[in-house]
A and B are shown apart, each in its own frame.
Chain A
Amino acid sequence: MKPVAANIDLDQLRATLEHTWLKRRLLFLLRTERDEWLKAVATEPLPEVLEGIPAQIQQSRHLLSSLLEGYSPAQLIDQGVLAALPREARGLIRDAVHRAYLNSNVMQPLVARFGTALNDVESQAAQVPSAWATGVGNEKLTGVLMNLEYAAEQLRRALLDLPQEVVLP
């Protein structure tokens, strides 16, 4: 049985968000460049990594909307051994297995946690431009960046806590 394309995309998107964006860029730069950023004058443009947050949030929302389906064992029905069954029977099994998966309620709390963490990052990130505009040494920007770092770390942890495999009911 081969992995389905949708899940490969899901995996790549998750890895890219967790590793490339959060760990290696946003969190890394929030920790190493914050002091430099606080010295910047208001007329300087926002650092690229901060300016790019909305685009990454959009990608994260795409992932969020795919999570529940992406972990469903329903996708296994049309592969491997059961592919030999008549299409109508596969449809019945697929629907029943998906229903059992939803009833197991394994993914919903994880999806909710990811959604909450994403909302927090979005909310904190939305405050960055106005805080940046107030200029050098302002306490507001310090607080906003610290809160953003905390929210980004929570988002990363929510991504890491997603299951490693399709969830069986």
Chain B
Amino acid sequence: MKIFFFGTEQKLPLALQPNFSDYEDNWDDPWFWLVHPGSLSSFLIEKQEQVSKCIKRGGAILLVSGSPLCSEKEAQRLEAEKNDRIHFLRSSCTDSPVGSAPSRVALRILRFLKLIEDLNPYETVPWSEVEASRWPENLLAIYLVVKALQTCLEDESAIRNAWDLMDTEWKRKVWVNAWNEYHEDLKMNASSWTDAGLPALDGDLGMPVSSKVAAATTTLRRAFPN
């Protein structure tokens, strides 16, 4: 499919711009639109007719933005409404969860556009290829705290105190979510959690004791790719 850029050009990385074809105003060709809308609502309302034509011809639309577009839930609703022929880059959603990383958005889009060039009209668009892999947010938080405990012994008690003084419900939520990410999402072994001195969810919600910090660090680190 040919690729057409639609939006605020100066806000898009220069690296992406050479990929665009010149737009031709004949709707016989299916187009893949890369859209950087000034505002989501105005784009989808004002361009309603063109969006429908694009999709009807087997095209598809990726919406990217440097500024938040909408919530992830709203994005999912709009995507479903268009039979998954449109997609919102998740890092642009107002409530996007912890990403892997901030970096390589532009290069990832470039690689994705290469796939799109070889795509035929109406073919399923591999949207997952444009999204960053996500790190488990709560596990990441726990890991960073444990790593800090391991690295900076002189501040260990201050960090532990700050954690212990946090609201019990907040701590429980973080630990429960971290456990779910560890065991349910990543399918990691349950016994490795307790072996590493990580807490039982119905017990003390503190950080691992000093003698277990190294083991906890090693265990939690396995949840992340690099």
Contact = CB atoms under 8 A, between A and B. Distances in A.
A19 B15 contact: yes
B66 A99 contact: no
Contacts of A70: 103
B122 to A, nearest CB: 29
Interface in B113-142: 132, 137-138, 140-141
B162 A82 contact: no
A2 B140 CA distance: 14
B137 A4 contact: no
B144 A164 contact: no
Nearest to B101: A165
A89 B151 contact: no
Given A1-B98, A84-B166, A20 B151 contact: no
Nearest to B165: A86
A11 interface: yes
A93 B150 CA distance: 11
A168 B15 contact: no
A126 interface: no
B155 interface: yes
Given A8-B66, A73-B144, A3 B99 contact: yes
Q: Is the interface of B mostly helix, strand, loop or mixed?
A: helix
Contact of A76 (B66, B104, B140, B158): B140
A7 B224 CA distance: 19
Contact of A24 (B18, B66, B226): B18
Contacts of B45: none
Contacts of B163: 85, 89
A146 interface: no
B103 to A, nearest CB: 5
B145 A82 contact: yes
A92 B155 contact: yes
Interface in B141-158: 141, 143-145, 147-152, 155, 158
Given A3-B102, A20-B14, A96-B151, A85 B226 contact: no
A109 to B, nearest CB: 15
Contact of A88 (B14, B101, B145, B162): B162
A129 interface: no
Nearest to A163: B226
Contacts of A85: 162-163, 166
Residue from B106, B132, B152, B158 whose CB has the most chain A CB atoms within 10 Å: B106
A138 interface: no
Interface string A77-88: 101111011101
A100 interface: yes
Contact of B104 (A1, A73, A165, A168): A165
23 contacts: A2-B91, A8-B66, A11-B102, A12-B106, A15-B13, A15-B107, A16-B106, A19-B106, A20-B14, A20-B18, A80-B137, A82-B141, A92-B155, A92-B159, A97-B151, A99-B152, A100-B151, A106-B226, A163-B103, A165-B102, A165-B132, A165-B225, A166-B103
Given A76-B140, A100-B147, A166-B103, 5 more contacts: A19-B110, A81-B138, A88-B162, A100-B151, A164-B226
Interface of B: 13-18, 66, 91, 96-107, 110, 132, 137-138, 140-141, 143-145, 147-152, 155, 158-159, 162-163, 165-166, 170, 174, 221, 224-226
